Structure 1
Amino acid sequence: MACSEPEVDLCSVPVVALNVTVRKKLGLYLNPKHTVAADWTEVAEEMGFSYLEIENHKAVRNPTRAVLEEWAARNQGASVGKLLSILEKKERKDVVEDLRPLIDEDVRKYCESLKKKSEPPVQVPEVDSCVPRTPERFGITVDDSEDAPEFFDAFICYCQSDFEFVKEMIRELEQTEYKLKLCVFDRNVLPGSCVWTVTSELIEKRCKRMVAVISDEYLDSDDCDFQTKFALSLCPGARSKRLIPVIYKSMTKPFPSILRFLTVCDYTRPCTEAWFWGRLAKALSLP
């Protein structure tokens, strides 16, 4: 891409060049469901997202932003020009016309930053640059490396208010004879990566199963909702026993309807409490 030229080929400018202001305005246009105008779901479909992926993204607060970030992370052809082409194809020229000045300004700044990077460095050659070298889907956990990604027996889906029970789960399943390896986001995941990209990578490719800690707070969590629906999309009908719901305290709200067909591991029942950890460990140990 020759950024010094008057006319920049927008198809050569990655979508990451767009700053927060443009992304917020895109959400204001595309997040609401319209009866006559295309919304974010049609744009996502044109980007190549599947039906199940789009249904999962409905759980997040700003689906336009989440889709845009994931599209940029997994598609090398995710460019500003391609995004504008999709919007025009979906007859959202109103969005293009309103945002075009802001987009052009972001592209200009992006090109200027590239030009500065291409200039000879002030430092001596021995001084290394600080450009990140770790790919998005590697280096995401504390024991991760590009050559040897870290794998787990289970991803733990939980709310912050339930973290004390998660710590008990760590003690009972990791530090006993069961020797299981759990992926606990606050403990195992490194900061700095896109939350949705890292979460989907861990649930789909790094963890054999997912344990959902069900509570009243869980029902109000967008993160838990996304993780649960994503895990269910990977095993329709629970064929692979991928998702295991766990109840550890009494609830005032109804049990989530999307999990009603799954067998629950219930810590609140005195008659089964003695077998709770053994049953859960056995379920997580299955191939």
Structure 2
Amino acid sequence: MSAQCKSSVDFCSIPLIALNFGVRKRLGLYLNPRNAVAADWTALAEAMGFSYLEIKNYEKCENPTMTVLEHWQVKGSEATVGRLLSIMEEAERKDVITDLYSAIEKDCLEYLKKASEAPLQVPEVDSCEPRTAEKRGITTRDDPQGISPEMFDAFICYCKSDFSFVCEMINQLEHTEYRLKLCVFDRDVLPGTCVWTITSELIEKRCKRMVVVISDDYLESDACDFQTKFALSLSPGARSKRLIPVVYKPMKKPFPSILRFLTLCDYTRPCTQAWFWVRLAKALSLP
């Protein structure tokens, strides 16, 4: 009998994000070791649709199983707990399912509980036009009636400690021949609105791309984490070059694994600094 039939929980309707760090870490303990007899993480990655080159690059990660799960969960509705269980069953790793089943079920029940306690939302949450006044007049140059919303070339994802570099970015990209228009939250967004709702609106509807300023402090920011994962969900596999990660100073902490598959714009290398702003400006100028 399938593991999914043992529970009243509809695992196929629950996104992979429901699984917490503890379960993912334990999955890694089972699947990270390369095994000539039982299927390991590479078999799961292949079943999830990752290419040979992607899998070879994941081999360099400290915990490839967790990295694969992070990248898979932004691919869309296919990445569910039910699909993960099915993949492991097809790979004949029922031993893993048996040992972790109660923990997986517990995470899913917690997810459903939190979802049921969430505040009511408007019926439609797709990419339709705004139906609430909250999304009208959200930037300093917006039409208050929402008829002509202000548009931007890029949304800048940053934490407060990196604001001096964001100011340099404004000088280099807005006040030069590039004439790009950047959305900088502290400068352009009107106060008094719901941060998460407005941020989603700006990233999805108002900005062609998003520049992610990576630093040690970025890794600790819940707001930056939300913005990055939301933007990744809009462009699975980076098909539209929507995210552009930027590093402007040396980091002590590991680079975020969820962005490792994206081409980096690196300001820390003296030999390439002369090309940094040209590369970034051209990437943001693409249609």
TM tier, smaller: 0.5 to 0.7
Tell me what 2:139 maps to: 141
Give the Cα separation in 2 of the matches to 1:37 and 1:181.
Answer: 42
Q: Name the SS for the 1:191 alignment partner.
A: coil
- The answer to whether the aligner puts 1:253 opposite 2:253 as a matched pair is yes
Structure 1 residue 38: Cα displacement: 3.1
Tell me what 2:272 maps to: 272
> Residues 179-198 of structure 1 correspond to what in structure 2 (within 5 A)?
179-198=179-198
Give the Cα separation in 1 of the matches to 2:249 and 2:224.
Answer: 17
- The answer to whether the aligner puts 1:75 opposite 2:152 as a matched pair is no
Structure 1 residue 136: Cα displacement: 1.1
Structure 1 residue 260: Cα displacement: 0.3
Cα distance change of structure 1 residues 41 and 236 upon mapping to structure 2, 3 Å threshold: farther
Cα distance change of structure 1 residues 183 and 214 upon mapping to structure 2, 3 Å threshold: same
The residue identity in structure 1 corresponding to 2:138 is I
- The answer to whether the aligner puts 1:35 opposite 2:106 as a matched pair is yes
Cα distance change of structure 1 residues 247 and 37 upon mapping to structure 2, 3 Å threshold: closer
Q: Name the SS for the 1:233 alignment partner.
A: helix
Structure 1 residue 192: Cα displacement: 1.0
Cα distance change of structure 1 residues 248 and 37 upon mapping to structure 2, 3 Å threshold: closer
> Residues 15-34 of structure 1 correspond to what in structure 2 (within 5 A)?
none
Q: Which runs of 4+ in 1 moved over 3 A?
A: 40-44
> Residues 95-244 of structure 1 correspond to what in structure 2 (within 5 A)?
135-145=133-143, 146-244=146-244
Give the Cα separation in 2 of the matches to 1:279 and 1:264.
Answer: 11
| Alpha-carbon displacement from aligned partner over 1:126-175 (angstroms, at most 9, x marks no partner) | xxxxxxxx801111100112111010000000000000000000000000
Give the Cα separation in 2 of the matches to 1:36 and 1:265.
Answer: 37
Give the Cα separation in 1 of the matches to 2:282 and 2:177.
Answer: 12
* Unaligned 5+ runs, structure 1: 1-32, 48-63, 77-133
How high is the sequence identity, in percent, across the aligned residues?
Answer: 71
Alignment coverage as a number of residue pairs? 178
Structure 1 residue 39: Cα displacement: 2.5
Q: So what's the TM-score if we normalise by structure 2? A: 0.58
Cα distance change of structure 1 residues 143 and 270 upon mapping to structure 2, 3 Å threshold: same
Structure 1 residue 202: Cα displacement: 0.3
Cα distance change of structure 1 residues 37 and 230 upon mapping to structure 2, 3 Å threshold: closer
Give the Cα separation in 2 of the matches to 1:37 and 1:135.
Answer: 34
Q: Name the SS for the 1:153 alignment partner.
A: strand
Cα distance change of structure 1 residues 245 and 36 upon mapping to structure 2, 3 Å threshold: closer
Q: Who wins on radius of gyration, i.e. which is larger? A: 1
Give the Cα separation in 2 of the matches to 1:148 and 1:188.
Answer: 16
Q: So what's the TM-score if we normalise by structure 1? A: 0.58
* Unaligned 5+ runs, structure 2: 1-103, 125-131
Structure 1 residue 193: Cα displacement: 1.0
